[in-house]
Amino acid sequence: MDPVNVDRVHFWTGTDLVRVDRTRNEKGSHIEGVTVDAQPTAAREHLFGQVYVRKEKATVEDVVDEDRTNPNPVISPDDPSPSNEEFPIALRKGTRSCTSHPIQRFSHVPLQKYLAYAHGSQCGFCTPGFVMSMYALLRSSKGKPTEEQIEEALAGNLCRCTGYRAIVDAFKVFAKKDDPMYTQHSSPGISSNAFVCPLSGKQCTCGAMSAGPLETSSMDNVCSTNYKHITCGETVGSSYSDKELIFPPELLLRKMVPLSLSGFGGIKWFRPLNLEQVLDLKSRYPDARLIVGNTEVGIETRFKDARYQVLILVAHVPELCALVVKDDGLEIGSAVRLTTLSISLKEVVSKRSFHETSACRAILEQLKWFAGNQIKNVASVGGNICTASPISDLNPLWIASRAEFRIVDCQGNIRTTLANNFFKGYRRVDLRHNEILLSIFLPWTRHFEYVKEFKQAHRRDDDIALVNAGMRILLEKNGMAVQISEASIVYGGIAPIPYLATKTEFFLKGKDWGPDLLDGALDTLKDEMTLADDAPGGMVEFRKSLTLSFFFKLYLWITVDLEASGSIIRCLQPSYLSAVQPYKKVTTKGVQNYEIVKHGKPVGSPIMHLSAEMQVSGEAEYTDDAPMPSNGLHAALVLSSKPHARILSIDDSEAKSSPGFMGLFLARDVPGSNKIGPILHDEELFASEFVTCVGQERHNFICKIVYVLIHIFSLYNVFCSCLGQVIGIVVADAQENAKLASKKVKVQYEELPAVLTIKDALRENSFYPNAEIFLHKGDVELFLGSGSYVKFIEGEVQVGGQEHFYMEPQSSLVWTVDGGNEVHMVSSTQSPQKHQKYVAHVLNLPMSKVVCKTKRIGGGFGGKETRSAFIAAAASIPAYLLRRPVKLTLDRDVDMMITGQRHSFLGKYKVGFTNEGKVLALDLEIYNNAGNSLDLSYAVLERAIFHSDNVYDIPNVRIRGKVCYTNLPSNTAFRGFGGPQGMLITENWIQRIAMELHKCSEEIREINFQHERSVTHYGQPLENCTLGRVWDELKTSSEFVKARDDVNQFNAENRWRKRGIAMVPTKFGISFTTKFMNQAGALVHVYIDGTVLVTHGGVEMGQGLHTKIAQIAASSFDIPVSSVFISETSTDKVPNASPTAASASSDMYGAAVLDACEQIKARMKPMALKNKHKSFAELANACFMERIDLSAHGFYITPDIGYDWKTGQGKPFSYYTYGAAFAEVEIDTLTGDFHTRSTHIVMDLGCSLNPAIDVGQIEGAFIQGLGWVALEELKWGDADHKWVKEGMLYTRGPGSYKIPTVNDIPLKFNVSLLQVTLAYLFPSFACYPVTFPLTFMFL
């Protein structure tokens, strides 16, 4: 063969990045060679990481044939789908580009600049994904995008930091608001020299701004953004074509040829180009998997360990991608993408008669909530059908709509089957091994034929349905009556296959349409719907009620239409119409209101995050971006599969034969101590030979003896176990090889009884010893005793946990230096010092020989304060023993399963109060679920008890708290650190009092408010209490009285949709409650060119700490912020640093840096007075020439704090920050569907170091709190979730655990910072922290 030319293409197969050298000749093409990339994991995670976050969704499928076990499909870079256009825009450093276009450093496109300057990037880990989604929208839009289209394009992306508002606002500048802005013509009445706001289309002055901050007391989201506007006409749609990176034209123009690839383990991958080739391949490989978008098979292979040998990509087969409009219906090829289907259905609906398209409109509406655009761009219709998921959103509709499925065999024979006969069992369909799904025929609907879709999920969009349905009713006139001639009622999420309510259908046929029909149908449906108490998915009663609600909505929907057409007499009450009014999301609006109070030039200015430009370009590096040395190894953990068991044996023989295997390390291999823990060394790095747990004994007396032995003889390693506990660590030459080998390690167990919940712990008396807290004030018995004259209530509040869901998973890279004498590491952690301490401890090295560095982390929220340390310690064992670098980066599912979450709590209260609502006494028992080690659970309980008063003056208080031991992974710090749980319990009984007295809850709150000099239940008097000011300002800004009247009127007029409002205050104490942790160090160097290098002990995790520190240093030296560089956090620069937590870092590290700056300034002062210098650089050089030390170590301790639990006296907090939030929520009472209409927040931050960053923190904390109380739910295998394996976390990925998206934020989102008074002008630049209280405020 004489080669003509060679193309090199990279393909993603789901497990490997495969490089294909394709050699062409005149006769066609074939594969000359296939090589697997040496570092596939890094390229995969960075290039496709955003896709993976959104792909874990069980309702989006890509399999077209009958086999239910399919290998990894391919996303090919020569596929010109919209999702591929995203690739070039946000490649991270170190990844391979699929194009020949160079990626230039800091060559930002306008949308990247807008995002950076609008404060839309905090930790930055998710930022490239948002840039990609927005860029794809602008590149693919034929017209100017609307605000609705922009929000829809971003709905498939996740962010945990920002609260989304800033991101949406940054991109709304591209939305069409005023034609002259896009046609380059002036609007009438606007002078030619005036700047027109791209968002409002009106004259304003924002265009004249520089990239610096705007000095105003009112910052809104239209004109008051911190960037120079770029002409929108230059940045919309096709205007990019000759300016920006585009999908490579050479790939678009290339002639398609069939491909055949071979991969590791004998995997074969084919790309046929016509149906004949597909059928030929299917005949040769009957078990082959047909794929289109990899949206299901990729999940199976990555998360379910599925392995498939033959894959056939059918995305380029014309016969399967055809979509034909016929006289009697619509024929849809099985490989048609969901996005293509949506576009075609919209066109059909606009052109066909209205009565013909009822089914089309139902499918179109269902697709709206089906998935994000990233999924719909690649997922296929046939794949979703053939995966036969019990909760498929579309399959019930195909059945209800009388759809027919056309099936072809390998000989070309075609047969047709009705959709209701296609599904045979759980993920089994009517396809033989020699058949594939060819197309779907959707008939037009007839006159008086109604098809309606329904779906209810935890989160409205891009979520797995709890229950969905497709329903069809065909009516006919019979004299004056309207009768049902046909009915089809089909549910998803009720049974292993779509459930046809045949009894209800039979009941409906021939019945007259009217109220009697509804009553009988609901009774029949209720009897027909049966779900076992342990049915998979749980929520049995709620799901059964949804089946009735859906039919009720169908009845009302049809009745409204019949009344409107005059077919029946009007009988519905106007208030019932709310049940059928469709939800239409309006675009989010918001105002950010703050004043700028400057100390020097930079401090107090709302400048941009220092790393924002790098983050929007994808060039900001995180731990997993650290380049691996050529001899580096990848690690994977061996985890326990039992919640409580004794290890009988560990067999690694199969793992040793795994490709690339380099070693398995267990407890016996640990050079130092195997016992670790942040406070007590009460857990094991690797579970040892004997693994039981404290909760195994059922007798209280024996339990107490065991607990004593634990501490006296340090035998706690014998008593700790949970499902997911680390047993060992495997290292291999590639990450996929390490994970594969770790799963081949066989562990045999002897199972033991497990304690999983707080109620289990109470029943078994399973508590940590010496972890009980008692706090009291006044005489509780006097007011709550039997002879008391006051009213009292008692109740119980159960507070669930929450997953941190930081975007960057836990990761550490560890290596030795100097022949193994020292150990260095780069880690994603909030506490480098703990990593240093843990590694030194397990390696038996002095801490002086261990160095941990952290540049930035992709979110933390407390989850990387202590639970990240054992990741580094585990990786350090093979790195130290093998003298080779080892990287350990957890997959999302493993991270969620083993690293702990926010503590669940149980509160039991009894409250005494007067007839007016004044609280007199509180008796509270409070418990938290620690998991299988103490970690920080005792301190979390302390904080919860401190905040159990929230903002209320309670004269008599008695609180008992206990830490529960369970067989779950150890829970840990999370934003608020127990405070939100304590406040939630308080607000529960406040609401109960209001209900008991028939009063407004806001009235009860107000009469119990603390005030200046009030003394808390732990004895600390309040100083500078701004609660009243905050509350009054919120009442005014939210127009609370008017809002309450409007809500009452709405509720009176609407039977099935209701609105509610609430105002909730918070008070949060600032300081670590452990006194010694309130210290901070910093190192400052001044160089002779006038630049300043700052190193401090805090970690940048998106909260803008480094930016604020740079502002402080710049203000102190009176230099620009650009002259200050913040170096990475490193234990060899600033030793013994406390974790970056407790909202205290700006205070402490800012003061430490200021201390160092003042030392240097004091040394420079004589030289400055001696001579006049033109610049700071000239002064620095002059000082150097005079041998003046220009380096200083700064130090700060929080003064006058400390609390003695024994005496109940002291001052645990340096000060308090106050806040309050107003929220208005609308809920569908038939389904539970809700949205937040309006939110107003007022926070007292004192003098903000950077108000723009602080506002971003407020918004992000509020949305995280919204997720905690309204969307996110941890489902463990316990008594409440019997369908989950005991001790297993079911919600361990974005497919089952739903955090808020763009579509979940309030429609109106206003944030105000309390205006500063003279009392708060602190010379130390201190600012009030903002993150913790807002987590709670959504309540």
How do residues 418-447 score in pLDDT, each as one tens digit?
A: 999 999 999 999 999 999 999 999 999 999
pLDDT at position 307 is: 85
Query: What is the percent of the chain with per-residue pLDDT over 70, rounded to a whole number?
Result: 82
pLDDT over 50 (residue 63): no
CA atoms within 13 A on the CB side of 779: 5
C-alpha neighbours within 13 Å on the C-beta side of residue 773: 25
Residue 245 has a pLDDT of 59
The predicted model gives 927-945 an average pLDDT of 97
pLDDT confidence tier of residue 177, bands split at 50, 70 and 90: low
Q: Is the dihedral of CA 945, 830, 1275, 738 positive or negative?
A: negative
Quote the pLDDT of residue 929.
98
The pLDDT of residue 20: 33
Mean pLDDT of 945-952: 98
d(CA 877, CA 671): 8
Backbone φ and ψ for 582, nearest 5 degrees, come out as -70, 150
pLDDT (average), residues 589-596: 93
Q: Is residue 1311 classed as helix, strand or coil in its secondary structure? A: strand
Contacts of 383 (CB under 8 A, 6+ apart): 61, 62, 63, 64, 291, 292, 293, 295, 296, 334
Contact 429/66 with Cβ under 8 angstroms? yes
- Tens of pLDDT, residue by residue over 644-657, are 999 999 999 999 99
Range name among 149-153, 185-189, 591-595, 732-736 with the lowest pLDDT average: 185-189
* C-beta neighbour count of 701 within 10 angstroms: 9
* Residue 1181 clears pLDDT 60, i.e. is over it: yes
Query: Does residue 474 carry a pLDDT above 80?
Result: yes
Check pLDDT > 90 for residue 1066: yes
Q: How high is the mean pLDDT of the chain?
A: 85
pLDDT for res 19:
33
pLDDT digits (tens, 9 = 90+) for 334-392: 999 999 999 999 999 999 999 999 999 999 999 998 888 889 999 999 999 999 999 99
- Is the pLDDT assigned to residue 895 strictly greater than 90? yes
Tell whether the model's pLDDT for residue 716 goes beyond 60. no
**Contact of 1175 with 1168, CB cutoff 8 Å:** no
pLDDT recorded at residue 1132: 97
| DSSP string for 30-74 | EEEEEEE-SSHHHHHHHHHHHHHHHH--TT-----BS-S------
| Average of per-residue pLDDT across 1276-1280 | 93
Q: Is 670 exposed, middle or buried (0-12, 13-18, 19+ CB in 10 A)?
A: buried
Strand arrangement of the beta sheet that strand 1191-1197 belongs to: 1124-1126, 1092-1096, 1079-1086, 1191-1197
Lowest mean pLDDT among 194-203, 510-519, 1158-1167: 194-203
Above 50 in pLDDT, residue 36? no
Q: Which of 990, 983, 919 is nearest to 955 (CA)?
A: 919
Q: For residue range 236-263, list pLDDT tens digits in order.
A: 433 333 344 567 777 778 888 999 999 8
Q: How far is CA 405 from the centre of its chain?
A: 38
Instruction: Give the mean pLDDT of 33-51.
Output: 30
Confidence of residue 690 (pLDDT cuts 50, 70, 90): low
- Residue bearing the bigger pLDDT, 157 or 1321: 157
- Count of CA atoms in the C-beta half-sphere (13 A) of 524: 18
Give the percent of the chain with pLDDT over 90.
Answer: 73
Sign, CA dihedral 126-127-131-134, equals positive
The residue written with tokens 């309207």 in the block is 482
Q: Which helix (H) or strand (E) holds 478?
A: strand 465-478
Least confident of 24-38, 832-846, 939-953, 1144-1158: 24-38
- Judging by DSSP bridges, how do beta strands 414-418 and 449-457 pair with one another? unpaired
Query: Quick one: which of 143, 145, 167 has its CA closest to 155?
Result: 167
pLDDT interval class at 572 (50, 70, 90): confident
Whole-structure pTM value: 0.87
Lowest mean pLDDT among 50-54, 129-133, 402-406: 50-54
User: Can you tell me the distance from the alpha carbon of 427 to that of 429, in angstroms, rounded to the nearest whole number?
Assistant: 7
Is 656 buried (19+), middle (13-18) or exposed (0-12) by CB count in 10 A? middle
Report helix, strand or coil for 819.
Answer: coil
Residue 941's Cβ-side half-sphere holds a number of Cα atoms within 13 Å equal to 31
For residue 1148, pLDDT beyond 50: yes
Nearest to 1212 by CA among 919, 823, 942: 942
Average pLDDT rounded to a whole number, residues 277-282: 97
- Render pLDDT for 280-303 as a digit per residue (tens, 0 to 9): 999 999 999 999 998 898 888 877
